[in-house]
Structure 1
C-alpha cells in the first residue's frame, strides 16, 4: 500500500467517524439557553482555509460532513471577511476588535524575525474583557502574536494556553522552519507524539470537560494550524521525516511538496476533529448553552478552492479575504439559514462581549460591530470595510456591493456581487462611486499607523515576496 493510499484509508475512516459524531450531535434536540446563564463561546479558526474548501461552501472533490452538519444546525455567512489576507494581522484584528493597523504588531504581515514586536499585554483583548466579566478563558492552538518573554497568551487575557507560538510547525515533529521545537503548555515547552491537528483537538476536549464542570461560563479560542503548510496529512510521517532530514531551512515551507489529495486529507481530518470537539460539548451537556463559530484567518493557499472568487492569501482580491463563517447559537440562529451580511474578524469582539454582558472598553472602542442582528436573521447597517497590504501596493475598500481595489499603480472598481471574479473594471463607467470610495479609503488610512519600513513585507516586489512569504506565517 502506498503512502497516499494509506493516507486516504485513514482519512476515510476519519470522515466516517466525523459524520457519525455530527449525527450524534444533531440527534440531541436543541436546548434553549437558560436566561440565568451567559453562553459559553467556542471560537474555532482554521489556518489558510479557502472560502470554498468546505463542501457546504462548494468544495467539489471532497466532503466535510461535520462542518456541513454544523451549517444545517446554524447560520452560514456568504459575505464574511478576514481582517487581513495574512495570519498575524487578522489575529490582531480578532483579539483587539480593532483594525490591526492601529498597533505596530498589526503592521507585521506576517510576524517574523523581530523579537521586539508583539501584542502589548497592556492592550485590552477579547479574552481579557471576557475574563474580567467572569469567564474562564483559554487558547488552544496557534498564537502568532509575539514571543516570550515579553508577549504571551497568558499576558493577554487567556488563563490557559496549550499550543504553538509561531506561525507554523511540522505536523509531526512540531518544529518551526528553523528546527526549533514549538509546543507549549502555558510557559512550559512540552514534547508530545502525534499529528498536531489531533493533539489540538485532544487538548480542547480536555478543556471543555474541565470548564464545563465549573460554575463559570467559558470562552475558548480553538485555533487549528490546519490546513497551513507543510502539506502533511494523517499518515504522512515519511514526508515529515524527509523535511526534518533536509538541511534547507526553507524545507518546512514545502514549495515543492504536497498534492491536492494531501490537502484534502488535511481538511477532512480537521473536519473530523471538529466533530470530536462538538461531541464533547454534547457529552458535557453544554451544547445548548454554547455559541459555536467556525471560520478561517484569511483566504486560501496553494491547494485551496476559492471559487467563485479570484486571488488567494496575500492578495486583496476576494479570494484572499473572503472566508467561510458558520455560527450555531441556540435560541438565536435559525437552523439551515444563510446571511449575506458583510461581517469581518474584528466583529467577534463586540458580538461576544455583548452576549456575555461584558462592558466595552471606552479607551479602546472596537472598529467592529455587534453582528447579533444578522445572526437573528436581520440586516446590518451599511458600512465601509477597509484593507491595505504590503507598503500600500495593495489597498481595498468595500461598501455595499462596490469594491475599490488598487494593486501597484492599477486601480479598479468592481461590483463583487455581480462580478465575483473581479474582472469588469467599472472605474470609468461609475466614476463618482470610484472617486468616493477611493477618497473614503484615503481618509480612513490617515487615521491608521504608517507602515513600518522594517516590517517583513515592506519593500518586497511580488516575485521577492513569493520567495519569502512563508517565513513563520
Structure 2
C-alpha cells in the first residue's frame, strides 16, 4: 500500500464520517464478521456436536441469537462470498458463476459494483479483511480495490497452514498488495492479526468493520502439530484425499475457536464489546469430516447438508442474549442487515436480494416465511425453498420435500402434492430466467466415487462441468 493511498483512504474515510452522522450522534456499532470455511451445520457444540468443544463460538451464542434455519447462498465458497459482499444472488455476476474461482480465472467483482465494506466505508467505517478473499486477483480485483482499507491474508481458496502456499504451489500470504512471508500456523497468525486490527481500529476513534475469514477447517488436514504432514504434501494441490481423521478435524476447529476467543477478549479489553456486532457463520455446508446432522449432503450439493450452516449474531447493546431464531435467512441478508445497524442502506441502483433482519431480531417484526433459490452446475442441480417446502433437482431427478418435517429429505412428495411441485418448479424457472445463464467454460467442483467412497454414484452429470485445464486447481 503506497503512502499516497494511505493518505487518500484516510481523507476519504474522514469525509465520509463527517457526512454520515450529525455532530453529537451516537457512534454506529462496530462489526466483526467471522466466517469459517467448510464448517458443517453441527460442527459447533452449540449446534449439537457432542465430541467437539467450541466454548468461544458458544460465547457468541450465549450473548446473542443462534439461527436454526440459516442457509449459504451456494454449496461452495467463492460463490457464497460473492453474495455476501454484494448482498445479491451471485448468479448476477460472472464471478459468481465460478464454483469456485480457480487459479485460471482472471476476473473478479466489477469495480462499479457496490460492496458491503465499501458501503460501510462510505458511512464512516474503518474496514479491514483478515484472512480469505477468493474473489479475484489482488492486483486487479483485490480487497483494497473493493472496499477494504486494509487486507492481511490470502487471495485464493485455501493455503497450507504452515507453508502458506496455495493450491498452485505459489506463496499466497499478503499484506495489502505486498506478498509477504511469515512463520507460523495460519489460524494463529490470522487470530493475532485480527486482535491487532481491533486495537488499532479502536485507537483510530471510528467505528470499524473487521471481516475475519479463516481457512479453517478447510483442507489440508493439518493441526499445529502436523508440520511434517505439510512437508509431505508440499507440491500437491493440497486436496489431501489421503489425510485427515476425526481427531485432526476436531483439533483444527478447536484452534479456530481459540483464536475467536482471543478476538472476543480483545473487544472486551478495548472496551467495545457492548457496542460491537459479532457474527459467526460458514461459507457453505461441511465437507468430508464435517457433521451435517440432521441433514444429508455435503459441500457442492444442494441437499440441505451442503447449504445449511451455523449462523450466530450477538450485539449486547440491542439484541437479546441466549436466544434462538427459527427465521429462515441466507448469506446475502447480512449486507442489508449490517448496513441497517450502521444507519446506512444498499445502493438503490443495486438493490439487495436479501432482507434486513434487524426488525425481526429486535422483536419489532414477526418471523416470516422466505423464498430462496439456488443452482449448481455440477450434477445439474437446482433448488428452491418456499416456506417449508423445497424443490430439488439432481442429475435429472426431481423431488419435493418438507424440510421442516423431513430435514433428511427422504420423503419425496412430488406425486403426493403435484400442485405444489408444479408451482415451485415453475417459480424456479421464472427466477432462473432473470439470472445470468450458466457458462460451459465456468468451473464447477464436484466429488466422485474415486475420491470419496460415499459418492459412488456421483460424477456423471448430464451436462458435465468443464474439466480442469493443465495446471489449474480448484481453490
Matched, 1:463 2:463: no
Q: 1:48 touches 1:299 (CA, 8 Å); kept in 2? A: yes
Q: 1:166 touches 1:472 (CA, 8 Å); kept in 2? A: no
Once the two structures are TM-superposed, the CA of residue 460 in structure 1 deviates from its matched residue by 9.8
Residue matched to 1:344:
330
Question: 1:61 and 1:459 mapped to 2: Cα distance?
Answer: 28
Once the two structures are TM-superposed, the CA of residue 120 in structure 1 deviates from its matched residue by 1.6
Residue matched to 2:192:
202
Matched, 1:50 2:59: no
Residue matched to 2:87:
97
Matched, 1:472 2:474: yes
Q: 1:51 touches 1:319 (CA, 8 Å); kept in 2? A: yes
Give the total of aligned pairs: 436
Equivalent position SS for 2:459? helix
Matched, 1:241 2:231: yes
Residue matched to 1:284:
270
Once the two structures are TM-superposed, the CA of residue 459 in structure 1 deviates from its matched residue by 11
Equivalent position SS for 2:212? strand
Unmatched segments (≥5 aa) in structure 2: 1-23, 449-457
Residue matched to 2:386:
399
Unmatched segments (≥5 aa) in structure 1: 1-33
How has the CA–CA distance of structure 1 residues 43 and 240 changed in structure 2, closer, same or farther, with 3 Å as cutoff? same
Alignment of 1:55-94 (within 5 A): 55-94=45-84
Please provide the CA RMSD for this pair.
2.0
Question: 2:104 and 2:416 mapped to 1: Cα distance?
Answer: 45
Residue matched to 1:266:
252
Question: 2:155 and 2:258 mapped to 1: Cα distance?
Answer: 24
Deviations 1:330-386 (Å, cap 9, x if unpaired)? Answer: 233211110010100000000111111123211100000001123224534333100
Question: 2:368 and 2:93 mapped to 1: Cα distance?
Answer: 27
Residue matched to 1:298:
284
Q: Aligned to 2:220, which of 193, 210, 230?
A: 230
Deviations 1:436-464 (Å, cap 9, x if unpaired)? Answer: 11111110000000011110129998437
| TM-score in terms of structure 1 length | 0.89
Is 342-351 or 379-388 further displaced after alignment? 379-388
Question: 1:286 and 1:422 mapped to 2: Cα distance?
Answer: 43
How has the CA–CA distance of structure 1 residues 208 and 227 changed in structure 2, closer, same or farther, with 3 Å as cutoff? same
How has the CA–CA distance of structure 1 residues 359 and 430 changed in structure 2, closer, same or farther, with 3 Å as cutoff? same
Matched, 1:382 2:361: no
Q: 2:100 touches 2:445 (CA, 8 Å); kept in 1? A: no
Residue matched to 2:133:
143
Matched, 1:215 2:205: yes
Question: 2:166 and 2:322 mapped to 1: Cα distance?
Answer: 40
Once the two structures are TM-superposed, the CA of residue 234 in structure 1 deviates from its matched residue by 1.7
Once the two structures are TM-superposed, the CA of residue 88 in structure 1 deviates from its matched residue by 0.5
Is 60-69 or 162-171 further displaced after alignment? 60-69
Residue matched to 2:308:
322
Question: 2:130 and 2:341 mapped to 1: Cα distance?
Answer: 22
Q: Aligned to 1:431, which of 418, 432, 447?
A: 418
Once the two structures are TM-superposed, the CA of residue 403 in structure 1 deviates from its matched residue by 0.5
Question: 2:257 and 2:278 mapped to 1: Cα distance?
Answer: 14
Matched, 1:366 2:352: yes
Alignment of 1:413-452 (within 5 A): 413-452=400-439
Question: 1:168 and 1:176 mapped to 2: Cα distance?
Answer: 6
